[in-house]
Amino acid sequence: MSIMTERDRAAVRKEFERLTGPVKLVVFSQELQAGDLCRQNESLVREVAELSDQIAVEVLNLAIDRERVQAYGVEQVPAIVVEGARDYGIRFYGVPLGYEFSNLIDAIVLASTGQPVLAEETLASLRTLAADVDIKVFSTPT
């Protein structure tokens, strides 16, 4: 049974017309830990990826692919890394449904184009950052 409705698919297909370069969605799973959520997460990502030739999916297992998982800095499951021309540092923890789903689609378009939509002053300030910035955003599906 699919997670996305036909209406969702049509809307996402329209968003994906803006994709200009390849995107890789790296899915992190672990059967023994949150197995149901990991399966749901993987299914959702595959459904999204089916909507564009530009999107590839790779699944990593926390228990098996340890070195690669560590390199991504992912410690919890389910998780998704959205990569474009490089790993931009975009991570999703938990199944991105509801509000987070639209953020996932936005992240895919962003990673594909590499073009953030921010004010010129913001971009200028970010260019001067002298330290790493870790932003966590907690949300709920509704």
Partner 1 sequence: MRLAQHMAVASERVRSTAIEATEFPELSRAYQVMGVPKVVINDRVQFEGAVPEKDFLGAVLQAVSEP
Residues 6 or more apart whose Cβ sits within 8 Å of residue 104: 48, 80, 82, 92, 96
**100 in contact with partner 1 (CB under 8 A):** yes
Decide: is 116 part of the binding site for partner 1 (CB under 8 A). yes
- Window 48-87: residues binding partner 1 (CB under 8 A): 76, 78, 82, 84
Kind of pairing, strands 79-83 and 87-93?
Answer: antiparallel
Cβ pair 80, 101 in contact under 8 A: no
Residue 6 or 119 having the CB closest to partner 1? 119
90 touches partner 1 by CB under 8 A: yes
- Which 3 state secondary structure label does DSSP give 92? strand
Nearer residue to partner 1 within complex by CB, 32 or 137? 137
Q: Is 32 in the site for partner 1 (CB under 8 A)?
A: no
